[in-house]
Amino acid sequence: MDSRLTLEKRIEAEIMSYDGKIGIYLDDFHGNVIAIHADEAFETASTIKTYILACLFDEVEKGNKSLEDMIEYKEEHVVDGSGVLPALEPGAMLRVKDAATLMIIVSDNIATNMMIDYLGLERINQCIKALGCKDTALYNPIHFEQYDRLGTSTPEDYASIFIRLAKGELISPGADEKMLDIFKKQHYNSMITKDFPPFYMDSDNTDDILISVASKSGSMDACRNDGGLVFTPYGPYAIVMFHKEFSDAMYYPAHPATVFGARVSRMILDQFLALEGRFLK
């Protein structure tokens, strides 16, 4: 292949006109890794919830916590934003595993604050470092009026979580499988999937789903992020796309971060399928 037309070069050409910066980390599980600004720090927004989930399962694996514990939605957990718990009043009791699931699949901010309260901020950060994510930190619970930032991470750190999940090497094979089941129920993955052929993701047409995704996204004024695993008949690949330094802080489906991210994601999918499970020959 012409060295000017490698996947990395084509990605760089695609985002040349983008009003912002994208950090990308890709791994095809066959020794081919593509990293663009992958070691730079980005605001996490809700992608920090992936690390919180990992810490929960780590604590459960060690016998310190239980997925069956009951936790209370308290007044101090109240925060605006995504999720379903903002429609409820404080006082509701949830099982830990249900709060954790809401935290991921609908990015529930109140459920996230409940999980931070349950696990402890210091313990979460200790666990993040123990998992090898040296450039990632959670700074505080989610309270937009009190804090300007939530957490920071890098595309490489974030990808490492999903890469090890795919291999069953993050917490334990059993715990990793349970976590992947939660990530596969994610409601918000349009940056990864928006330009995918719907046919491949609809079992009504194909008898089975040929392409599926396990991921967690996040958005704040300062960032738009998405990352996880794409499962195909040729095996999975890891994809992370973190965005910053764009000028448009509004939230809408056609935000440039989503548009350019989706173009890059489709380019990666096409390459992976064309080479039957690899990014490079």
DSSP string of 41-58?
Answer: -EE-GGGHHHHHHHHHHH
72 near 92, Cβ under 8 Å? yes
Q: What confidence score (pLDDT) does residue 260 get?
A: 96
The span from the CA of 64 to the CA of 27, in Å, is 33
Instruction: Establish how many alpha carbons lie within 13 A of residue 83's alpha carbon, considering only the half-sphere containing its beta carbon.
Output: 28
- To 10 degrees, the CA torsion angle through 83, 85, 58, 156? 20
110 near 78, Cβ under 8 Å? yes
Judged by phi (left if over 0) then psi (alpha if -120 to 50, else beta), residue 277 lies in left
Q: What confidence score (pLDDT) does residue 203 get?
A: 66
Q: What confidence score (pLDDT) does residue 1 get?
A: 60
The superfamily CATH assigns to domain 7-275 is: DD-peptidase/beta-lactamase superfamily (3.40.710.10)
Q: What confidence score (pLDDT) does residue 82 get?
A: 85
Nearest 5°: the CA angle 234, 238, 243 is 140
Judged by phi (left if over 0) then psi (alpha if -120 to 50, else beta), residue 245 lies in left
Domain ranges of the chain: 7-275
The length of the chain, given as a count of residues = 281
- pLDDT tens, position by position, 28-41: 999 999 999 999 99
For residue 223, what are the β-bridge partners?
220
The span from the CA of 201 to the CA of 204, in Å, is 9
Q: What confidence score (pLDDT) does residue 202 get?
A: 77
232 near 272, Cβ under 8 Å? yes
| Neighbouring C-beta atoms of residue 130, cutoff 10 Å | 10
pTM of the model: 0.95
Q: What is the Cα Rg of the chain in Å?
A: 18
Structure tokens at 23: 């950090």
Instruction: Establish how many alpha carbons lie within 13 A of residue 129's alpha carbon, considering only the half-sphere containing its beta carbon.
Output: 7
- DSSP summary character for residue 88: S
Q: What confidence score (pLDDT) does residue 205 get?
A: 64
Task: Identify the segments of the chain with pLDDT beneath 70.
Answer: 1, 203-207
